[in-house]
Structure 1
Amino acid sequence: MILLGNGKLITRDGDNPFIEDGCLCVKDNLIYDLGTTKDMREKYPNEEFIDANQGLIMPGLINTHHHIYSSFARGLSLKGYHPKKFSDILEGMWWKIDKHLTLEDVKYSAYVTYIDCIKNGVTTVFDHHASYGATTGSLFEISGVAHELGLRTCLCYEVSDRNGKNEMVQAVKENINFINSAKQDTSNMQKGMMGLHASFTLSNETLYYIAENMPADTGYHIHLAEGIEDLYDSLNKHNKRVVNRLYDMNILGSKTLAIHCIHINPLEMDILKETETMVVHNPESNMGNAVGCTPILKIMDKDIVLGLGTDGYTSDMLESMKVANILHKHHNNNPSVAWAEVPKMLFDNNSEIANRFYEKPLGILKKDSYADVIVLDYDPFTPLDENNVNSHILFGMNGRNVKTTMINGKLLMKDRELLNIDEASIFAKARELSTDLWKKFY
């Protein structure tokens, strides 16, 4: 067993939310016991002790929508790239990149992204992948890296008609193969979903084909009404709004992730609620792509499970939390909103989303929950307790405050040092591969 204590313990457990000088007892991959540091050390005197040094002990963070494949775009400048609308961004940047990725590019994109996640205290990642230059085996490359580094992850491949039928079929097959493989993962560290790009790049015929081949007990991971083009396409081609179309095609459900949901109306929200579909908000990406602002207040008023993601923009969930807080104050011209809604998205709803896929509780520190734990280096200069910790996080911390990361009972980073991970050589190889990738565009 391992004891992790001498810190302010934020459990996210309503029955026992805060212990001033708290300590966890970890056995194998689960939280075995918790209490004050004094009590735990007296109860388990011979166990290894990890000192939080008065830092904040919290559940590992969960990212419910990421894009690992986008990592090699950092620093890239494309000649003639001057997007005026969302479709220009997709065609001019992202679809160009994913079409040129090799399996080795995918592998090292996974390395650098997962390392960034560890450093930022993100212990569970829901990723939405595309690499139409190398579809077959791509999810298994990402999966292998997650297994090697020790992260918990849920993967899917982005099915689209944009590259023709043959590549669509390969994408569906990649999803199916990985979903079936992940079901054999007895460690419960990896899950698979059926990835879909968006309504406007998927014909009815393709959706029927997917449904015929869909593995049982599997959800969809799809961008929904992110850009206004998605809505217009659905109205013009199918005479219905996007949510209505996906409902008619049996895409929605309790294990489906609907990403963005910017251009939806109250009736569509009712459908999402009735089908128990989960929604994920990605504030930085939405602002950067100038696609609009997800109506999170209305969505949450409908009691829809609304989580928080990053859409590949960053791996720092606390950064995403900060941006969401100010975005919705600004958008609603109301400084009193988003104080409760945004923390609920990150700490409560992301946990609920993950717990629809994983057998033991995530996003909470209590007995028999997964031992996914982070320690943040933070010395508050005002009082901190369970009633104001979210304010301290919002104004006093970011992902780089994380100094220790444990996933599934295994230490991956201690005192800001990655354990058994050769970051320098991985980053050197990533620079080499990304340089070769960039040369393909000129």
Structure 2
Amino acid sequence: MALLITHATLVTWEDPNHIIGDGALLLDNGIIQEIGSSSELAARYPHAEELDAQGQYAMPGGVCAHTHFYGAYARGLAIPGPAPKNFPEILRRLWWPLDKSLDAEAVRLSALVCLIDAIKHGTTTLIDHHASPNCINGSLDIIADAVDEAGLRAVLCYEVTDRDGPEKAQAGIEENVRFLRAAHDHPLVSATFGLHASLTLSDSTLEACAQAADGLDTGFHIHVAEHEADQEDSQRKTGERVVHRLARLGILGPKTIVAHAVHVDASERAVLKDTGTWVSHQPRSNMNNGVGAAAIDIMAAEGIKLALGNDGFSNNMWAEWKAAYLLQKVAGRDPRLAPGDMIARMATQANARLAEVFFPGQTLGQLVPGAAA
């Protein structure tokens, strides 16, 4: 049965955005069928189930461009011993022991916790990056089933890495390939190909990933230059900076997301722009890990496609908006950086365009007739 939402203040997040007072939305079969005034639509559809918004805002659900559902377990978790002094120590002492501890039930529960948190904060599409080295095969199905149960939309991948040996790296490749083919069984779930980061991947493994992805119409989802260690490792191994290395190996492109890009230089930014690669910005995580601040004002001015994620922090994307607005100002000591309209466009219009990459043929993130509800 159709649902008619009346007496709402509609925020359409079109470009340009429109705000419609005393507006109404007719929803049916998961699609926005019509938008108009409350009086007009109530008269036209007297038999529709009606929900009176009583003047509250109605807007598209939020999109998170990069997260880790299993990060739910890190909230409030103390790391034994002295505090880690840098991000590589945080990886070794927190994240890598945590992901090794995950079994199938832990994977399922972490996804459900994060999805409930997303519902509470109005975030309805999430691009997840998963790792569970002792529970690889079928792990993405477990998460997809949780997404189905929650009724949200998600893009899933498995993090391929060499840090646990060649057999598990190959298992990660196979899980990505398997799920890229199986994701169509879940109407609200899509897939991409996950990679950890340049510093835990050899050329041979990256070549194997690119070869495995060939013909699957996919890009990749990878952490890039989150900390200087990623650049130092790449230059030590190959003599190249990270983005140049990934470009050489066929990892970049318009369906690829690089998370963070905090420590990229001008030549790498040029490659990101030329390849149409997406960059996701996670300011709360960057502050928490003490890794620095990505040059998002420069990237935006250069035409790089920017999106906003949370890196496993809470799915309150409004908090990520605020952090993105404030971080650049203190990092650059310039109150003109990261103006509010830039952050709003990144979080709404850009995030929606990124989500549409994975759900082709659908209109997301807008209150317009024909868009997904």
Shared fold (TM-score greater than 0.5)?
yes
Superposed CA deviations along residues 389-432 of structure 1, whole A, max 9, x for unmatched, are xxxxxxxxxxxxxxxxxxxxxxxxxxxxxxxxxxxxxxxxxxxx
1:139-178 correspondence to structure 2 within 5 Å? 139-178=140-179
Q: 1:252–1:275: 8 Å Cα contact kept in structure 2?
A: yes
- Report the Cα distance in structure 1 between the residues aligned to 2:16 and 2:225, rounded to whole angstroms: 38
- Report the Cα distance in structure 2 between the residues aligned to 1:141 and 1:95, rounded to whole angstroms: 20
The code of the aligned residue for 1:257 comes to: I
- Report the Cα distance in structure 1 between the residues aligned to 2:103 and 2:258, rounded to whole angstroms: 28
What corresponds to 2:240 in structure 1?
240
What corresponds to 1:206 in structure 2?
205
What is the Cα deviation at residue 78 of structure 1? 2.6
Q: 1:31–1:365: 8 Å Cα contact kept in structure 2?
A: yes
Q: 1:11–1:366: 8 Å Cα contact kept in structure 2?
A: yes
- Report the Cα distance in structure 2 between the residues aligned to 1:310 and 1:353, rounded to whole angstroms: 15
* Root mean square deviation, CA, Å: 1.1
1:72-221 correspondence to structure 2 within 5 Å? 72-185=73-186, 187=187, 189-214=188-213, 215-221=215-221
1:276-291 correspondence to structure 2 within 5 Å? 276-291=276-291
SS at match of 1:196: strand
Of 339, 359, 362, which aligns to 1:360?
Answer: 362
What corresponds to 2:48 in structure 1?
47
1:268 aligns to 2:268 (yes or no): yes
- Report the Cα distance in structure 1 between the residues aligned to 2:250 and 2:170, rounded to whole angstroms: 19
- Report the Cα distance in structure 2 between the residues aligned to 1:156 and 1:81, rounded to whole angstroms: 33
Q: 2:197–2:224: 8 Å Cα contact kept in structure 1?
A: yes
Superposed CA deviations along residues 134-185 of structure 1, whole A, max 9, x for unmatched, are 1111111100111112111000011000000001011111111111101344
Q: 2:191–2:358: 8 Å Cα contact kept in structure 1?
A: no
Aligned residue pairs, count: 369
What is the Cα deviation at residue 81 of structure 1? 4.8
User: Which is worse superposed, 27-36 or 69-78?
Assistant: 69-78
Cα distance 1:183–1:29, how it changes in 2: closer, same or farther (>3 A)? same
The code of the aligned residue for 2:318 comes to: L
Q: 2:65–2:351: 8 Å Cα contact kept in structure 1?
A: yes
SS at match of 1:221: strand
Q: 2:14–2:349: 8 Å Cα contact kept in structure 1?
A: no
What corresponds to 2:332 in structure 1?
332
- Report the Cα distance in structure 1 between the residues aligned to 2:116 and 2:25, rounded to whole angstroms: 24
Q: 1:81–1:92: 8 Å Cα contact kept in structure 2?
A: no
- Report the Cα distance in structure 2 between the residues aligned to 1:194 and 1:236, rounded to whole angstroms: 26
Q: 1:176–1:194: 8 Å Cα contact kept in structure 2?
A: yes
Q: Taking every aligned residue pair, what percent have the same amino acid on both sides? A: 39
SS at match of 1:59: coil
Q: 1:286–1:293: 8 Å Cα contact kept in structure 2?
A: yes
The code of the aligned residue for 1:87 comes to: P
Q: 2:15–2:349: 8 Å Cα contact kept in structure 1?
A: no
What corresponds to 1:65 in structure 2?
66
Structure 2 spans left out of the alignment, 5+ residues: none
What is the Cα deviation at residue 45 of structure 1? 1.4
Superposed CA deviations along residues 40-71 of structure 1, whole A, max 9, x for unmatched, are 11111111111112111100100010100111
What is the Cα deviation at residue 116 of structure 1? 0.5
Q: 2:281–2:308: 8 Å Cα contact kept in structure 1?
A: yes
Instruction: Give the structure-1-normalised TM-score.
Output: 0.82
Superposed CA deviations along residues 281-309 of structure 1, whole A, max 9, x for unmatched, are 00000000001100000110111110000
The code of the aligned residue for 1:291 comes to: V
What is the Cα deviation at residue 13 of structure 1? 1.8
Runs of 4+, deviation exceeding 6 Å = none
Instruction: Give the structure-2-normalised TM-score.
Output: 0.97
What corresponds to 1:370 in structure 2?
372
Cα distance 1:30–1:138, how it changes in 2: closer, same or farther (>3 A)? same
1:309-324 correspondence to structure 2 within 5 Å? 309-324=309-324
Q: 2:180–2:216: 8 Å Cα contact kept in structure 1?
A: no
Q: 2:221–2:259: 8 Å Cα contact kept in structure 1?
A: yes
Structure 1 spans left out of the alignment, 5+ residues: 372-442
Superposed CA deviations along residues 63-120 of structure 1, whole A, max 9, x for unmatched, are 0101001111222213225211111000100000000111100000011110100110
